[in-house]
Amino acid sequence: MTVIKSPKMPRPALNPSGAPLPTREEAEEAVRVLLRWAGDDPAREGLVETPRRVVDAYAEWFAGYKDDPEAFLERTFTETEGYDEMVVLTDIRFESHCEHHVAPIIGRAHVAYLPDRRVVGISKLARLIEVFSRRLQIQEKMTAQIANALDRVLQPKGAAVIVEATHHCMTTRGVHKPGVTMVTSRMLGAFRNDPATRREFLAMVGDPAARRVAAP
C-alpha cells in the first residue's frame, strides 16, 4: 500500500503578538493608501517604486524584531585573569523610530558593566543596542531593556546604560524644537548602590548634559 503524504505548508510568519504578518503585497498596498491619503498619486512616475522602497526600508529599520537580543550575550568568556574592573563602551551610535509617530530617533548609547565571573565581546554590546533600537521604541523603555538584558544574562555586579538622543517627532513636527537632546539612564547593582562606582562611570562617559547629539 502506498501512502502519499501531502506536502507541508509553510507556517506563516508571526509578529511578537502572535498574529500573522501581512504579505509584502499587502504592505506595499498600505503604502499606496497612505500616498493617496497624503494627496498624491501612487501611480505617477516618481512614486511607482515608492511602495517597494518603503517596505524595503521598513525591513531594515525594524530588523530587530527578528533577533533575540539576549542571544548575543550568551557566548561569554571566563578566562579573564581575574579582571574585575569596569567594562565601558561609549558613543555607540544608533538609529531608532518612535512608536508614537514612526519618526526617527538618532542618538548614542553608553554602556557599562562590572563583571563578576564572565565578560562578553564588545561587539556583542553594540549588537545588543542595535537589536533593541531597530524596533518601534520610546527611549526610556529602550534604556531599561538594554540594562536589564545585561543584568539577566551576564549576572554582573552592576550594569549601567545612558542614552542620549534627538527625537524627530519633536524637532520636525509638533512643537518644532530643534537642538533638544533627551537623556535617560538605568543603573543596576553597584552602579545604583555605590556612589563611587557611579561617579567613575559618569566620569568615563562625560557629562551628558554637556553633550549634544546631532542628527547627521
Q: Is residue 160 located within the same domain as residue 184?
A: yes
**7 within some domain:** no
What is the model's pLDDT at position 6?
45
Work out the pLDDT band at 155, boundaries 50, 70, 90.
very high
**Boundary (domain end) residue, out of 36, 61, 86:** 61
Mean pLDDT taken over the chain: 88
**Boundary (domain end) residue, out of 11, 40, 61:** 61
Q: What is the CATH number of the domain that holds 44?
A: 1.10.286.10
Segment 175-184 shows an average pLDDT of 89
Q: Is residue 36 located within the same domain as residue 78?
A: no
Q: Is residue 46 located within the same domain as residue 80?
A: no
pTM, entire model: 0.85
What is the model's pLDDT at position 175?
86
**156 within some domain:** yes
Residue 34 has pLDDT above 70, yes or no: yes
Q: Is residue 91 located within the same domain as residue 50?
A: no
DSSP 63-111: GGGGS-GGGGGSSEE--STT--S-EEEEEEEEEEEETTT--EEEEEEEE
What is the model's pLDDT at position 176?
86
**1 within some domain:** no
Residue 216 has pLDDT above 50, yes or no: no
Q: Is residue 77 located within the same domain as residue 118?
A: yes
Segment 89-111 shows an average pLDDT of 96
Segment 30-45 shows an average pLDDT of 97
Q: Is residue 46 located within the same domain as residue 136?
A: no
Question: How many structural domains compose the chain?
Answer: 2
Segment 11-36 shows an average pLDDT of 84
**13 within some domain:** no
**215 within some domain:** no
Residue 11 has pLDDT above 60, yes or no: no
Q: Is residue 119 located within the same domain as residue 190?
A: yes
What is the model's pLDDT at position 160?
97
Per-residue model confidence as pLDDT tens digits over 42-97 = 999 999 999 999 999 999 999 999 999 888 888 877 766 777 889 999 999 999 99
Q: Is residue 88 located within the same domain as residue 38?
A: no
Q: Give catalytic residue positions.
A: 98-101, 139, 167, 169
What is the model's pLDDT at position 1?
47
**126 within some domain:** yes
**2 within some domain:** no
Q: What is the CATH number of the domain that holds 96?
A: 3.30.1130.10
Residue numbers of the domain that contains 100:
69-210
* Residues 66-79: b if buried by 16+ CB within 10 A, e if exposed: ebebeebbeebeee
Question: What contacts 24+ positions apart, CB below 8 Å, involve 140-147?
Answer: 140/184, 142/96, 143/184, 143/185, 143/186, 144/186, 145/69, 146/109, 146/111, 146/186, 147/186, 147/187, 147/188
What is the model's pLDDT at position 16?
64
- CA distance linking residue 121 with residue 29, whole number of Å: 42
**11 within some domain:** no
Q: Is residue 85 located within the same domain as residue 186?
A: yes
